[in-house]
Structure 1
Amino acid sequence: MRFMILIKSDADTEAGAMPSEEMLAAMGRYNEELVKAGVMLAGEGLHPSSRGARVRFSGGETTVVDGPFSEAKELVAGFWLIQVKSKEEAIEWVRRIPADPAVEQEIEIRQVFEAEDFGEEFTPELREAEERLRAEVASQQS
């Protein structure tokens, strides 16, 4: 099972504040644990929403809105993508994330859909096309 771990933004991350050297080192050690355990697929921090944009689709039209966006605690500051055996295992990994005890932080865990989750609507032809795309992406990253 794959899980996306979403690190929520706060006023500091939205202001573009960088983590301390100690926090960067702690995150590096945590990432190393994930890699050595064979569960980490990806993990990155994100620039503040002031450097981003939103694209809204409505009534056949698209609208682009540049950041920043309000409600920092509803925004994402970074993520990990991990592969584990259960939601419980994902929770155990999240409990180990280095956190500053002086800062209130919320981390969201969301399971990623797998091909079998889509049922009969995900026909053999659609499944084959998806597998071809994944193989192409993998070859581009080699």
Structure 2
Amino acid sequence: MRFMVFVRSPKPLAALHRDSLLRAGVLLDAGDLVPEAYGVSGYWLIDVRSREEAVERVRRIPLPACVVEIREVAVV
């Protein structure tokens, strides 16, 4: 299953913390998005077995003062 993880924070974090997901072999893509009024947003596209695994992998990453959203990606 593929999940898009959006991270909103005061500074760019998506590219900074992608190494742990890359080492685990689940990272498909990562990047930082254009800054907006609420801070910087970034994303990870990961491929894992379940939503629970996606949540667990994101919880292992130190993301202080961040808003995180995990959404399943429809694969057609």
Task: State the distance in 1 between where 2:69 and 2:25 align.
Answer: 21
Answer yes or no: is the 8 Å Cα contact 2:18–2:44 preserved in 1. Answer: no
The 5 A counterparts of 1:81-92 are 81-92=45-56
**Counterpart check, 1:37 vs 2:24:** yes
Aligned match of 1:131: none
**Which stretches of structure 1, 4 residues or more, deviate above 4 A after TM superposition?**
none
Task: For residue 99 of structure 1, report the CA deviation from its aligned partner.
Answer: 2.0
Task: For residue 31 of structure 1, report the CA deviation from its aligned partner.
Answer: 2.0
Aligned match of 2:6: 6
More strand by share: 2
RMSD: 2.6
Q: Which of the two has higher C-alpha Rg?
A: 1
Query: Unmatched 5+ residue regions in structure 2?
Result: none
Query: Unmatched 5+ residue regions in structure 1?
Result: 13-17, 50-67, 116-142
Match of 2:60 among 84, 96, 105: 96
Task: State the distance in 2 between where 1:8 and 1:99 align.
Answer: 10
Task: For residue 33 of structure 1, report the CA deviation from its aligned partner.
Answer: 2.0
Task: State the distance in 2 between where 1:86 and 1:114 align.
Answer: 14
More helix by share: 1
Task: State the distance in 2 between where 1:4 and 1:47 align.
Answer: 17
Task: State the distance in 1 between where 2:6 and 2:54 align.
Answer: 12
TM-score by length of 2: 0.79
Aligned length: 76
Letter in 1 for 2:6: L
Percent sequence identity is 44
Task: State the distance in 1 between where 2:61 and 2:31 align.
Answer: 14
